[in-house]
Amino acid sequence: MVVPIVGEHETEILHAQTHIWNHIFSFINSMSLKSAIQLNIPDILHKHGKPMTLDELVNAISINKSKTTHLRRLMRILIHSGFFLKSPINPDQGPEGGEGYVLAPPARLLLKDEPLSVTPFLLAMLDPILVKPWHHVSEWFESDEPTPFEVAHGRTFWDYAGHEPRLNHFFNDAMASDAKLVMSVVMKYSKDVFEGLNTIVDVGGGTGTVAKTIAKNFPNLKCTVFDLPHVVEGLEPSDNLTYVGGDFFVSIPPADALLLKWILHDWSDEESVKILKKCKEAIPSKEKGGKVIIIDMMVDNKIGDDESIETQIFFDMLMMVLVTGRERTEKGWSKIFFEAGFSDYKVTPILGLRSLIEVYP
């Protein structure tokens, strides 16, 4: 039996200190993971095909040999975070057989050749351009600036991306990586959402990952990617896929249906209503099959576990810091739909934290 050597009050204080410390240093988890990706550790372990010793890993990475013990420390925290595991090299020999590193299941999505890799998203969100605004949040609360991003960089996120090719490139890569994952689910479980359409416009469609998937699965459906001119500049069309530059606050190319994946959460309610009104102008009536297809987060989508709730709160804060948007409940979504003049909507919660929403004029 362990006899406590401090009182209940002191124990509570020490626990509070630990709790605060862990939140102070929570950035170490994400930055350690970023380091492992930059060192190519997930791919090296995957290609090795069996448990890999520390020395083998050091040789494969070709790092300074004096850093061997430091690499062990990096691997220790990433094991604790659930990205790597220790596994016996020769199970038949017991402890004498030694141990090596292998990938834990979540690390599959960190592999460069994995079609659903989230590595571009991770590298984008942890880039200094997007991390810097977090140092200005308290200053932003005292200012008239719309976002902490503007406090940090002197311009909006969208203006910055339009003038800084590096931000534009890694942001588009991040969105494309997410689009692959989302569309793999949509095409498996909700492919019928595109049935019967002759034309569709992917509004804010970036480099066209979503539209390419739709075009491939529906060769008779004419697909258009609509985004800012600097985003679609130089992108090559194909048989049933074209690119158009423009501003969705001004006008949107007409089509039977419009698709907005992860667009409206970037904008305030007032701005989102303006975008949706332009969408309504671009599609036919409900009787003629017109609709807007939205893929976005719905905060009260009944998942409810602690990890999912935390992720939703993280994203809401991300929208607050980088842009003028927010994550919405179903009540919040219905509010902007009806304010924009739409008559009805249907929610299909097939995408984990996000949902597929069909909105009808």
Q: In this structure, are residues 182 and 295 in contact, taking their beta carbons and an 8 Å threshold?
A: yes
- Non-local CB neighbours of 50 within 8 Å, separated by 6+ positions: 89, 100, 102
Tokens describing residue 172: 């588009």
80 given a catalytic annotation: no
Residue 222, CA distances (Å) to 186, 192, 255, 259 in order: 19, 16, 9, 13
Q: What angle do CA 144, 124, 27 make, to 5 degrees?
A: 80
Torsions phi, psi of 87, nearest 5? Answer: -135, 145
Distance, in Å, from the CA atom of 64 to the CA atom of 59, rounded to the nearest integer, reads 9
Residue 45, CA distances (Å) to 41, 90, 116, 242 in order: 6, 17, 18, 40
Report the largest interatomic distance among the alpha carbons of the chain, rounded to a whole angstrom.
76
Torsions phi, psi of 245, nearest 5? Answer: -95, 145
- Non-local CB neighbours of 336 within 8 Å, separated by 6+ positions: 264, 269, 272, 273, 276, 328
324: left (phi over 0), alpha (psi -120 to 50) or beta: alpha
Torsions phi, psi of 193, nearest 5? Answer: -65, -20
- Non-local CB neighbours of 118 within 8 Å, separated by 6+ positions: 109, 110, 177, 178, 181
- Non-local CB neighbours of 45 within 8 Å, separated by 6+ positions: 52, 57, 84, 101, 102, 103, 107
The DSSP 8-state label assigned to residue 88 in this structure reads E
Q: Give the pairing type, strands 354-360 and 291-297.
A: antiparallel
The residues annotated with a catalytic role in the active site are 265
